[in-house]
Amino acid sequence: MERNLGMDLVRATEAAALRSGRWMGRGDKQGADQAAVDAMRMALNSVPMNGIVVIGEGEKDEAPMLYIGERVGNGEGEEIDVAVDPVEGTTLLAEGMPGAIAIVAVAERHSFYNWRGIPYMDKLAVGERAKGVIDINAPVAYNIRAVARTLNKQVEDVTVVVLDRPRHKDLIRQIREIGARIKLIPHGDVSAGIMTSIENPPADILMGIGGAPEAVLTAAALKCLGGEIQCKVWPRNDEERARLAELGIDPKQVLTTRDLVRGENVVVAATGITSGEFLRGVEYFGGGARTHSVVMRSRSGTVRYIDATHRWDKLMRISDMPYVH
């Protein structure tokens, strides 16, 4: 993958954001997601690559488009891995809440971790300045103190972002006991993990249990940004524990950034759908819209933020045209 596909990929996330953004607050998660999937798939198929979706909308029987194993791109070059989330935060979008994004990541073939049907992971993520000081097997207080020291902060000034879920009741209690700040989020832990590594980060640490596919997308972005993520698979029940035993996977094994994304040439593109602390959402005006995106590449360490104006009468490709329901 010698070519930098960043600008090609961002057109796919822009297309997904432009179409799905019109569903903001309409209460229809499925409709919003389908609009994004349709637009992203069409745009991806014009990208000069030979991509295979390894993280997508689900198995082929569940997802007619952007399913795991689907080929995307125009078929040029060697095969590469593609990870997509056309709407990360479908509930956020459907309910008109902040923080929904469209995101795509690509890397060399067999780079992305195969989550093998175990949908959840326990996660710990930090930005570049705190890289190397965290340990997911250590107590919560240890990690918060370690990050505070390396960031030259008081513990009381450290912000931990956590998904607001009943399963995190004890985690939240431990964070409060040590005195750190907590940012509870309803959905969207890819954005939350990435936020630890951007300039002037609104959060210092991501902690807690979230989606396994989202962990891989977060790792791809952190690999570009210099951050770090550690994870362990989190089986929810006896059936999933039996599945791990069948696969020979140790639930105590720590998966690092390198385990989740083995490739060294990783490209990630994301576009805001609803405005959040990471990216601004789509802004519609008479005859067009504005989008806010980011493109990052691990090989060069380049991070580009893109403010784009899209005018409906100037768009040439079907994938760029406004979605009409």
- CB within 8 A of 288, min separation 6: which ones? 309, 310, 311, 312
pLDDT tops 80 at residue 62 = no
Q: Under a CB-based contact definition with an 8 Å cutoff, are residues 155 and 140 in contact?
A: no
Per-residue model confidence (pLDDT) at position 1: 64
Binding site annotation covers 259? no
Q: E strands, 75-204, where?
A: 79-88, 101-108, 120-126, 159-163, 181-185
To the question of pTM greater than 0.85 for the whole model, the response is: yes
Binding site annotation covers 108? no
Q: What is the mean pLDDT of residues 173-188?
A: 97
Per-residue model confidence (pLDDT) at position 317: 54
Full set of structural domains in the chain with CATH: 4-112+265-316 (3.30.540.10), 120-260 (3.40.190.90)
pLDDT tops 90 at residue 142 = yes
Q: What is the mean pLDDT of residues 317-323?
A: 50
pLDDT tops 90 at residue 272 = yes
Burial tier of 132 (Cβ tally within 10 Å: 0-12, 13-18, 19+): exposed
Higher per-residue pLDDT: 314 or 315: 314
Binding site annotation covers 214? yes
Q: Which of 213, 189, 188, 229 is nearest to 81 (CA)?
A: 213
Q: Which of 116, 108, 159, 133 is nearest to 253 (CA)?
A: 116
% residues pLDDT > 90 (the chain): 88
Residue corresponding to tokens 């002037």: 200
- Which band of pLDDT confidence, cut at 50, 70 and 90, is reported for residue 324? very low
Per-residue model confidence (pLDDT) at position 193: 96
Higher per-residue pLDDT: 323 or 233: 233
Higher per-residue pLDDT: 44 or 4: 44
Binding site annotation covers 85? yes
Q: What is the mean pLDDT of residues 167-183?
A: 98
Q: What are phi and psi of 249, to 5 degrees?
A: -100, 125
Q: What is the mean pLDDT of residues 254-281?
A: 96
- Which band of pLDDT confidence, cut at 50, 70 and 90, is reported for residue 61? low
pLDDT tops 90 at residue 321 = no
Q: Chain-wide mean pLDDT for the chain?
A: 93
Residue corresponding to tokens 């194993």: 69
**How many other C-beta atoms can be found within 10 angstroms of the C-beta atom of residue 322?**
15
Q: DSSP character for 80?
A: E
pLDDT tops 80 at residue 322 = no
